[in-house]
Structure 1
Amino acid sequence: MLKNLSFCYFLKFLLVFAAVNFIQSCSKDDSPKVDTETSIEDVPIPEEPEEEPSFMPVGSVEVFLDDKVDDNYILVNDAASNQVYLMDKEARLLHEWSLTNNIGNDVFLLPNGQLLASLEADDPQIKLGGKGGKLQLIGPNGAVEWDYLYSSMDRETHHDAELLPNGNIIAMVWTKHSAEEALQSGFMFETDVFVESIIEIDPNTDEIVWEWHSWDHIVQDHDSTKNNYGNIADHPERIDVNYVPMSNASTESDGDIMHANGIAYDKLNDAILLSVNFFSEVWVIDHSTSTEEASTSSGGNYGKGGDLIYRFGNPETYKNTFGERQFYNNHFPNLLKGMDLGKLLIFSNGFNIEQSTVYELELPSEYDLKPDRDNELNILWSYTNPDLYSGKISGAVTLPNGNVLITEGDFGFWEVTREKEVVWKFSAEGFFWRGYSYAKDAPEIKLLGL
C-alpha cells in the first residue's frame, strides 16, 4: 500500500516538473531579451504629449484670487495697434472690429450693438495728442452705418464722444483762435491757441443742434488793457486763460492750453462733465441752454448760461484757497448708474508723484459753485498701488460683482475688490485708452452672436 502511494507521488512529481519546464521554456521564447547590465532607472519612460492650448491669448493673465474674479467680458481699446476687440478674463479674443481709420481714442459698444467710435480723419488738420476729426457708428457686422467728418484748420473733434438719451451725439472739439485774437483776449503769449468746445450732432441729419465754447467764458488778470480782465478768485464760473502757462512757468506755449480728454452726460441734471487734463479738474456745463444762451452768462436751468456751473479736482485753477487739490492730470469722468447714481469714478494720473489713483467721488446734491468755499467732492473710495502708474490715458469702471476694473494705459488692466485686493491682471504690448465691462447676457453682446 505504501509502495503504491509512493509510486503515485513519484508519478505526480514527474508530471509537475515537466509542466513547469514547458511553461518556462515558452516564456523565454516569447519574452524580449533584457540587458542585465542596464538598470531599470536607465530605461527611458515615454513622456505624455503636452495638451495644446485651445486658443492663443491676446496678452498675459495673472489670477490672484480666482473666486473673486468677475467672469464677464471686456471691450479693449488699444490705440497703439488701432484695435478694438472683446475678450474674456482668460484673454480669449471673442470678437474684433475692423476700423476704416485710426483710433482717435474712444470706442465703445452701445446697447443696440453699434460701436460709437472717435476716429482720426484721413488727414487730421489739428495734430495734437488725441487728434480725431471723424465720428462713426459701426454695426455688429462691421459696416459703417454713420460717418461724420468734422476736421478743418479751425475746428476738429478729438478724444471722446457720448450718446445722449435723445439719440444725438455730443463730441469734444478743438477750436483755433489766432495769435492776434488770443493776445487781445488777455492771453499772455502771442501764439495761436486751441481751446475746448462741445457740439451736439443729430446723426439723422448731420445737423449741429447745440454748441458750447469755452472761449466765451474766459477770464484773465494778466493785462488790464485787454478783454476779459477780472479777479479770477471772484469768478470761479470762468476759465483762467493763462492758467496752464502760468502753472508751468512757461515762457511760451504750443497753444494747447486746456486739453480736455473725456466727456460724460449727467442725465439727472441735464449737464455735461468735461475732464480737462491740463487743468487737472472736471468742468460741469449746463446743457439745458440754447446755443445762444450758452454763449452768455444767463439762461438755462441754472441761470448761468454757458458759464461753469461747477468744477472740482483742482481749486488752484481759480485761485481758491479753500479745498484740497485732488487731481494731478485726470482721465475718464465715469458717471455711475443704478444703485451708484450720484457717484463718479475718475483716474488721476498722478504726475506729481508718478503714481496713479482711482477715486470714487460723491457728486453734490446741487451744482452750486461759489467763490471762497470748498467745492471739492467727498471721496467715498480710492485705490492706488506703487505699481499703478500711467502718465497718460487710463480709467476705471465698476463690475457686476462690485469690483473695479482699472485701465493702466501703458500696461493693461487690474481688477480690484472694494477691500483693495488685486484679484486679476492683464498685460500686453499696447496703449490702452479704456476698458469697458459687458455682462455676458447683455443685449449688445447677444447681438454679436456670442
Structure 2
Amino acid sequence: MMKFTPTLKYVACALLFAFASCSDDDSVIITPEGETPTIPDPVSLTPEVEVYDADKVHNNLTLAVNAGKNSAFLANKTGQKVHEFTFDEPLGNDLEILPNGKLLGIFKDPNAQIEFGGYGGIVKILNINGTVEWEYTLSNENFVLHHDVEMLPNGNVLLLVWERIPEAEAAAQGSANPGDIYPETLMEINTETNSVVWQWRSYDHIIQDDDPSLPNYGVVADNPHKVNVNYNPIANGDIMHANGLDYDENKDIIYLSINFFSEVWVIDHSTTTAEAATGTGGNYGKGGDLVYRFGNPRAYDNMMGEVRGDRNHYPNLLENGVQGEGNILLYVNGFAAGFSTVYELEMPATFSLTPNTDNEPNVVWFYSNPDIFSSKISGAERLKNGNTLICEGDFGFWEVTPDKELVWKYNGGEGSFFWRAYDYEVDDPIIAGFGL
C-alpha cells in the first residue's frame, strides 16, 4: 500500500509562487555564498534552495525520485515539499506520474535472486489513493526487471530485464566472460493479459572476434549493428548494465542507455518478436540488430568519432513542443573526466552505421560544471521555458538557462540519492488529484 501525504500548509505558498510575480528586479539571486540580493526576495525559501533567480527560474513542480528508498516527493521551486509519497517496498528505481494521474513504478522484490545495482523485480500501477491497480512480477534465478519502465501509447508497459545466460551456454556462443552473463532484454507486457507481446534480446545480436571456431565470430569493426559480447568482461556477469530507456512513437524506436558500454543503442520496435531475434525485418530492415548507436564508437572498434558517452544515464527524447524537440538529452556521468556533462544531441534524419566512419550525432547544446559529478544514476529534463533541469543524483537539482546561467539549485542534503527528477506544471491536470 502506498501512502500519500499532501503537505497542505505549503499549498498556498506553492500557488502563490506559481502565479504571482516575486520581484521586478531581474538580478535577484540568492547564492550559496550568502550574497545579499539587491532587493529583498519576498519568497520564503527552504534551506535546501541554494540558488534562486525569481525572474528566470521556471515555476514548475519537481518530482524527486529517491533511488532504492520507500519515498518520493513533489517540490516547488521555493523548496517546499508540496506532496509526499511513501511505499511499502523500496523503489527499484523509476517512478512516474502518468497522464491519467496514476503512478507507474519499479519496486524491489525482497526475495530477488539477481541483485545488481538498480534491480527491481516488480512493476506496479498505483491509483491516486494508493491502491494497486496492476502489478507484474518477473524475478527469479533467470530474469529480473530493473531500473526503468515506460508506458507505451498502446497502454502496454515496456520493461528492462536482465536475463541470465549460464556460463557453458554463453561460452559455446563465444563469450569469454568468466561465469554466467546477464545481457539485456526488453519485454513489452499487455497489462490486461500480463502476456509478453513483444520481446528483444541483445543476446540474439552478439558478435565476438576471440575464437574463429565458435559461433558469432566476425570482425567487430565491420559489423557495427552487432554487439561485442566480450567488450566488457566482468566477474559478476553484468556485462552491459542498461539503465534507461525512452520510446519514440513517431519513429517506433527505443533508445536504450548501456552504461558499461558508454553508449545509447537504438532498437527497432516495429519488428515482430520473431524478426527481433534476427537481422532482417521491421521498418529499418535490420530486425533486432542495432539500428543506430552513439556515445562510444570504440565499443564497436571504430576509431572515428568522439567518445562522449563516458558512462551515461537517461536518454531523454525531447517531446511535446519543448525546445529541441526530437533531440536527445543525455546525462553523461563522466568517470574519466571527473565531472558530469549534459548533452543535447541531434538525432540523424536517417539512421546509418558505417564502418570506419564518424557516426556520432551532432552536439546541439551541453552543460558541464566542475561541481556537478555523480558517478551513478542522474538525468536531465527540458522545461517548457527552455531551461534544463539537471538531476545530480548524489546531490540534488540544478536548473540552467539555454545560455547556461544557473537559476536554481536544490541541495538534497547528506545521503541524497535521486534516481531522476521529472517536471510537472503547477496547473497540470494530472496532478490535480493530489490536492494541489
Q: TM-score range by the shorter chain?
A: 0.7 to 0.9
Q: Once the 2 structures are TM-superposed, how far is the Cα of residue 327 of structure 1 from its aligned partner?
A: 1.2
Quick check: 1:180–1:190 contact (8 Å CA) kept in 2?
no
Is 1:408 aligned with 2:382? Answer: no
Match of 1:148 among 136, 142, 157: 136
Let me know the Cα RMSD of the aligned residues.
Answer: 1.5
Q: Matched residue of 2:168: which SS?
A: helix
What corresponds to 1:222 in structure 2? 210
Per the alignment, residue 239 of structure 2 pairs with: 257
Contact kept, 8 Å, 2:376 with 2:393, in 1: the verdict is yes
**Partner residue of 1:299?**
281
**Paired residue type of 1:108:** E
Partner SS for 2:104: strand
Q: Identity over the aligned pairs, expressed in percent?
A: 50
Shift of the alpha carbon at 1:233?
0.5
Alignment-derived partner of residue 447 in structure 1: 433
- 1:133 and 2:121 equivalent? yes
- What SS does the corresponding residue of 1:160 show, helix, strand or coil? strand
More displaced, 88-97 or 175-184? 88-97
d(CA) in 2 for partners of 1:72 and 1:293? 43
Does 2:364 correspond to 1:380?
yes
Query: Residue in 1 aligned with 2:172?
Result: 184
CA distance in 2: counterparts of 1:81 and 1:173, whole angstroms: 20
Distance 1:270 1:257 in 2: 27
The alignment covers a number of residue pairs equal to 390
| Mapped contact 2:64–2:73 kept (Cα < 8 A) | yes
Cα separation, 1, equivalents of 2:176 and 2:91? 34
Structure 1 residue 80 displacement after superposition: 5.2
1-side partners of 2:167 and 2:320: how far apart?
47
Question: Alignment partner of 1:193: what SS?
Answer: coil
Per-residue deviation at 1:372? 2.0
Q: Which residue of structure 1 aligns with residue 91 of structure 2? A: 103
Q: 1:190 to 1:385 in 2, by over 3 A?
A: closer
Instruction: In structure 2, give the amino acid aligned to 1:214.
Output: S
- AA matched with 2:404: K
Q: Distance in 2 between matches of 1:56 and 1:365?
A: 45
SS in 2 for 1:174: strand
**Secondary structure at the residue paired with 2:183?**
strand
Contact 2:45 2:78 in 1 (8 A): no
User: Which 4+ runs in 1 deviate beyond 6 A?
Assistant: none
Alignment of 1:353-372 (within 5 A): 353-372=337-356
Q: Can you list the C-alpha shifts for 1:42-64, whole angstroms capped at 9, x where unaligned?
A: xxxxxxxxxxxx9995x611234
Q: Is the 8 A contact 1:330 1:348 kept in 2?
A: yes
Q: Which amino acid aligns with 1:442?
A: D
Aligned twin of 2:220: 232
- The aligned residue for residue 329 of structure 1 is 311
Matched to 2:390, the amino acid is: I
User: Which range is displaced more, 317-326 or 376-385?
Assistant: 317-326
- Matched residue type, 2:119: K
Give the counterpart letter for 1:417 in structure 2: T
Amino acid at match of 2:309: F
SS of 1:338's partner is coil
Contact kept, 8 Å, 2:297 with 2:305, in 1: the verdict is yes
Q: Do structure 1's residue 266 and structure 2's residue 248 form an aligned pair? A: yes
SS at match of 1:182: helix
SS in 1 for 2:278: coil
Q: Deviations over 1:280-335 (max 9, x none)?
A: 00000100111111001111111111000000000000011221111100000000
TM-score (norm 2): 0.87
TM normalised by structure 1 equals: 0.84
Residue from 184, 189, 209 that aligns with 1:201 = 189
Q: 2-side partners of 1:235 and 1:91: how far apart?
A: 50
How far has the Cα of 1:254 moved from its partner? 1.5
Distance 1:189 1:154 in 2: 17
Secondary structure of the equivalent of 1:353?
A: coil
Structure 1, residues 115-147: CA drift from partner, whole Å, max 9, x if none?
A: 110111121121101011000001111111111
1:333-352: per-residue Cα shift (whole Å, max 9, x none)? 00001343221101000000
5+ residue gaps, structure 2, are 1-42
Q: Which amino acid aligns with 2:79?
A: A
CA distance in 2, matches of 1:377, 1:253: 33
Deviation at 1:277, TM superposition (A): 0.2
Question: What amino acid sits opposite 2:303 in the alignment?
Answer: T
Counterpart amino acid of residue 297 in structure 1:
G
Contact 1:131-1:159 within 8 A present in 2 as well: yes
Are 1:434 and 2:420 matched, yes or no?
A: yes
Q: CA offsets, 1:429-449, max 9 Å, x none?
A: 320010000001112112322
C-alpha spacing 1:56/1:386, structure 2 compared with 1 (3 Å): closer
Q: 1:81 to 1:174 in 2, by over 3 A?
A: closer
3-state SS, counterpart of residue 106 of structure 1: strand
Q: Aligned with 1:278: secondary structure?
A: helix
The reply to whether residue 311 of structure 1 matches residue 297 of structure 2 is no
2:40 aligns with none
Contact 2:70–2:88 (CA under 8 A) maintained in structure 1: no
DSSP 3-state at the match of 1:316 = helix
**Structure with the larger helix share:** 1
Partner SS for 1:67: coil
- Whether contact under 8 Å (1:182, 1:190) holds in the other structure is no
SS in structure 2 of the partner of residue 216 of structure 1: helix
Q: Give the Cα–Cα distance (whole angstroms) in 1 for the partners of residues 138 and 342 of structure 2.
A: 33
The CA distance in 2 between the partners of 1:428 and 1:322, in whole Å, is 40
How far is the alpha carbon of 1:253 from its aligned partner?
2.1
Which one-letter code corresponds to 1:396 in the other structure? A
Deviations 1:218-267 (A, max 9, x none): 0000111111100000100000001113xxxxxx6220100000010011
Contact 2:262/2:310, CA 8 A, preserved across alignment: yes
| CA–CA distance in structure 2, aligned partners of residues 432 and 55 of structure 1 | 24
Secondary structure at the aligned position of 1:263 is classed as strand
